[in-house]
Amino acid sequence: MTETERMKQGYIWEDDDENMALQAKCKTLVRQFNNLPPEAMEEREALLHDIFGEVGENVWFNAPLTATVGKYVSIGSGTYANMNLTLIDDWKITIGKNVLIGPNVTLCTTGHAIHPAHRMDGMYSFPITIGDNVWIGGNVTVLPGVTIGENSVIGAGSVVTKDIPANVIAFGAPCKVYREINEHDAEYYFGDHRFDEQPARD
């Protein structure tokens, strides 16, 4: 069994020549992406397709970006990521459609054993799944094996250690559900500011 096969089956694994080559290729492409000027939109889009396994339409990632392997990442159409997104993507990261990702977010599929006697034995990796229409606030960390359900909001500064259901607001370290998204949220966009009281656009 190769190290990649061990990783995909949820066993402890170590970097080998195959994985190191994938990482080197990804780092080269990410460096090219980060060095492009903002106005080079076609080149940026093309590089996202080169870096990641699947990329939908109208996806925008701000530089700088960090990714480990790239090919295991799937990004749905309409997704936006702000600056300093870090993807520890040794295994699958699935990001749905119309996802908003704030600045300084980390999606980490990989960890190490807690007990010091085994911590240097290698790594484990489990997939992360982000549902459609999720909003992840700034400075959030999502840990291995987590699924965030569609439409949910993860508050800034959260550490997401366990699955979050759909249609909720959750925050904290560790991240916990605060409440469901409701009809009040359909009328108010911030505090006492109503959608129907905004001036019409020209």
Annotation marks residue 193 as catalytic = no
Helices (H), 3-135: 3-8, 17-35, 41-51
Of 49, 112, 115, 118, catalytic: 112
**Angle at the Cα of 174 (from 82 to 169), degrees rounded to 5?**
60
Tokens of 7: 């990783």
- For residue 199, give the DSSP letter: P
Report the C-alpha gap between 121 and 117 in whole angstroms.
8
Distance of CA 11 to the CA centre of its chain: 23
- For residue 154, give the DSSP letter: E
**What's the Cα-to-Cα distance from 3 to each of 23, 68, 69, 150, 200, rounded to whole Å?**
14, 16, 15, 33, 58
Which residue, 146, 75, 157, is CA-closest to 107? 146
Which residue, 74, 73, 76, is CA-closest to 98? 76
Residue type, 170: A
Indicate which residues carry an active-site annotation: 112
